[in-house]
Amino acid sequence: MKDEKRLTRRKFLKGSLAAGAALAVGGAGCRLTGNALGRDYDPARSESLLAGVQPAPNPADLPNLIVITADDLGYGDLGCYGSRTIHTPNLDRMAAEGARLTDFYSSAPLCSPARASLLTGRYALRSHIAVPLYPSGAPLDLIFRLGVYRYGVRGIPPDEVLLPELLQRRGYRTALLGKWHLGDRPPHLPRQNGFDYFYGAYFSNDMEPYTIYRNEEVAVAPPVDQSTLTQDLTREALDFIRENKERPFFLDYAQPFPHVPLHASAAFRGRSAAGLYGDTVEEIDWSIGQIMQALRDLGLDDRTLVIFTSDNGPWWEGSTGPLRGRKNLPFEGGFRVPFIARWPGVIPAGLVSDALSANFDIYAACLTAAGIPLPADRIVDGKDLLPVLRGKASSLHDTFYYYKGARLVGVRYRNWKYLRRHMTDNGGYAGLSQGPFLFNLETDPGESYDLIEAEPQIAASLARMLDRWDAAMDANVRGWL
30 falls in which pLDDT band (50, 70, 90)?
A: very low
Q: Does domain 64-397 have CATH number 3.40.720.10?
A: yes
Give CATH for domain 404-475.
Answer: 3.30.1120.10
Pairwise CA distance, residues 290 & 428, whole Å: 45
- Cα angle, residue 310 at apex, residues 304 and 316 outer, rounded to 5°: 155
Q: Does the pLDDT value for residue 22 go beyond 70?
A: no
Task: Return the pLDDT at 19.
Answer: 53
**Tens digit of pLDDT for each residue in 425-445?**
887 776 788 999 999 999 999
Residue 17: what pLDDT? 61
CB atoms within 10 A of CB 28: 10
Query: What share of the chain in percent tops pLDDT 70?
Result: 92
Domain ranges of the chain: 64-397, 404-475
Which region among 3-17, 48-62, 337-351 has the lowest average model confidence (pLDDT)?
3-17
Handedness of CA 314, 317, 321, 325 (dihedral sign): positive
Q: 30: how many CB neighbours lie within 10 A of its CB? A: 10
Q: Which residues partner with 212 through β-bridges?
A: 220
Count CB neighbours of 412 within 10 A: 24
Q: Are 160 and 123 in contact (CB under 8 A)?
A: no
List the catalytic residues. 111, 181
